[in-house]
Copies of this chain bind each other. A is one copy, B any other.
Amino acid sequence: MMVINAGKSQHNEDQACCEVVFVEQRPSPRGWLSSSEGSGELDGGRKGFYFHYWALFDGHAGSGAAVMASERLHLHICEQLRDLVEILQDPSPPPICLPHDTKTSPADPTQVSYTEDHGEVPNNAVPRFHLEKAVSHESLVIGAIENAFKHMDDQIERERASQHLAGGCCALAAIYLMGKFYVANAGDSRAIIIRNGEIIPMSREFTPETERQRLQFLALLRPELLGKEFTHLEFPRRIQPKELGKKMLYRDQNMNGWAYKKIEEDDLKFPLIFGEGKKARMMATIGVTRGLGDHDLKVFSSNIHIKPFLSCFPEVSLASSRFAPGVPAVARATWQDQICPVQQEPSLPLILASCPVACQVRVYDLTQYEHCPDDVLVLGTDGLWDVTNDKEVAAVVMEVLTSYEPNDPCRYTMVAQELVVRSRGVLKERGWRLANDKLGSGDDISVFVIPLGGPGNYT
C-alpha cells in the first residue's frame, strides 16, 4: 500500500487500514442447545471465522472522520457479522425468521419456547402468502457491510463533538470472507481487478453526475431540503434573470435526455447539480454524493444541510474466489514514513462466480479462471484515478511485475509505489508535473495492490 500527502492540506486526509479480523460468535443463552441441533461446538473454544480487510478513506474538510473510520469501520463490520457466524457456516439456506432475541426482549421469557420455537417458523398463516423468497449467504454479508457503514456514520455523528471529528470521507473497502471478495464503495475512490492484462471494474463512483437522478428525485419529493436557494432541475449553465421567458435545455429526474423548457422564475435558482466531471458539485458544495461524516456540512452561508443528499450507504460488488493457502504477500508502502515491511497474508486467487443477489450488485463470473501471480486487485483514491486511468494503471502493474521474479514478495509493493510516484509527478516551477508534462495529481494519493494469485499456485 502506498499513501502520499499532496500538500494541499497540512495532514494527509487519506487514511488506510489493512487488518485480519476475527469474528467471534456472540455468546448466546441458547448456546447449550447447539449440540442438539448439530450446528454448534461445545469445546469451549472461540467459534467464528476470519475476514481480511483493506480500506481507503479519502477525507475532506479535515481528517477527523477519515481517521475514525479507518480505526473503526472493520470493527463495525465485525459487529454486524457476529450474529451471522452460525448461519454463514451452515451450508443450508439462511433462516428467514429467527426466534426472539432474549437480550432485546428479556421481559417476556414466557413467550419463547426454545425447543418448540427455535429457528425457522413454518409459515401457515395465510395460504395466499406461502411464497418465500430465497436469500443467499452472500446477500447477508452484503447487508451486514451496508449496515456497518450506517453504524459507522452514526458513530461519527454521535462522537463528532466530543472527539472533534472534522469533515467527512469517502470509503472504499475490500473484504475477503469465506472464499469471496466483497468490494464496498461509498464515494469516488475506485477498485479494479487486473486479470491477465484485462481490466474488470469492481466499483462505481458516486458523484453529483452519476447520482443525479437519485438526488433530483429526493429534491422533488422533499423540496424543503433545498431551502429557497436551489432548483431540482438541471440546466447546462446558469440562467440569467434577463433570459426569463426564453427556452433553455433542462433535465428532470426522470429524464436521461435533454429538452427545452420556457424559463420561469423558479428556474433562476441555483441548480441542485451543477458542473461537469471533477468540477460537478451538489448544491455548489461537494463533489461526492456518498461517504461517511459531514453531519455539520451546510451550503455556504445558509442553513441548508448537505447530509440528507449525501448517503453513507455503499454499493457492494461481489466476487467469489477459491482460496489457495500458503501464498503470502500484500504489498504495503507508506510514502510519508517509509516503505513498510511486507505483511504476510494468505493469497487470494480469485475466481468470480455468479450469485443470486440483487441486480444492482456487480457479480463477475470467472469460474473457469485460474489466477496467475500478475493478477491483482487495485484500490485507489481519486488522487490516483484523476491522473492515471484504468489502462495506464494496468500498464504500470504489468510493467513493474514483469521486472521482478514471480515469487518476489516486494513486487506488489513496488507496483503500489510506482503508481503513486507516477501519479504525483515531479515538483517543477509550475507545480507537480507528470512525465508527459501534464499536471500531476494535486490530491492525496493512496493505493492498495492486492495479489489475487501467487507463486504458490504455479511452482
Distance to closest chain B CB from A143 (angstroms): 3
Q: Convert A232-254 into 0s and 1s, putting 1 for each residue whose CB lies closer than 8 angstroms to a CB of B.
A: 00001111100101111101001
Contact of A245 with B123 in the complex, beta carbons under 8 Å: no
Contact of B257 with A146 in the complex, beta carbons under 8 Å: yes
Interface-central residue, A105, A212, A222, A249, by most chain B CB under 10 Å: A249
**Partner among B104, B132, B140, B243 whose Cβ is within 8 Å of the Cβ of A258:** B140
Complex Cα distance, B133 from A249, in Å, reads 10
**Partner among B104, B145, B358, B359 whose Cβ is within 8 Å of the Cβ of A262:** B104
Residue of B nearest to A217 (CB): B217
Distance to closest chain B CB from A236 (angstroms): 4
**Partner among B123, B131, B218, B257 whose Cβ is within 8 Å of the Cβ of A145:** B257
CB proximity to B under 8 Å, residues A360-378? 360-361
Q: Convert A129-164 into 0s and 1s, putting 1 for each residue whose CB lies closer than 8 angstroms to a CB of B.
A: 111111100111111111100000000000000000
Chain B neighbourhood of A146, CB < 8 A: 254-257, 259
Complex Cα distance, B108 from A262, in Å, reads 14
Contact of B131 with A279 in the complex, beta carbons under 8 Å: yes
Contact of A111 with B by CB under 8 A: yes
Contact of A275 with B by CB under 8 A: yes
Chain B neighbourhood of A279, CB < 8 A: 131
CB proximity to B under 8 Å, residues A95-134? 96-101, 104-105, 108, 111, 121, 123, 125-126, 129-134
Contact of A169 with B by CB under 8 A: no
**Partner among B126, B210, B243, B251 whose Cβ is within 8 Å of the Cβ of A143:** B251
Contact of A254 with B143 in the complex, beta carbons under 8 Å: no
Residue of B nearest to A97 (CB): B248
Contact of B357 with A257 in the complex, beta carbons under 8 Å: yes
Complex Cα distance, B311 from A240, in Å, reads 33
Contact of A132 with B313 in the complex, beta carbons under 8 Å: no
By Cβ-Cβ distance, the 8 closest A-B pairs, closest first, are A142-B257, A143-B257, A129-B238, A143-B259, A133-B236, A98-B247, A254-B313, A125-B240
Contact of A357 with B238 in the complex, beta carbons under 8 Å: no
Complex Cα distance, B274 from A130, in Å, reads 11
Contact of A407 with B by CB under 8 A: no
Distance to closest chain B CB from A280 (angstroms): 9
Distance to closest chain B CB from A131 (angstroms): 6
Complex Cα distance, B256 from A254, in Å, reads 22
Contact of A457 with B by CB under 8 A: no
Complex Cα distance, B217 from A121, in Å, reads 30
Chain B neighbourhood of A143, CB < 8 A: 251, 255-259
Chain B neighbourhood of A240, CB < 8 A: 121, 123, 125
Contact of A237 with B96 in the complex, beta carbons under 8 Å: yes
Distance to closest chain B CB from A237 (angstroms): 4
**Partner among B105, B126, B141 whose Cβ is within 8 Å of the Cβ of A245:** B105
CB proximity to B under 8 Å, residues A59-111? 80, 83, 94, 96-101, 104-105, 108, 111
Contact of A315 with B by CB under 8 A: yes
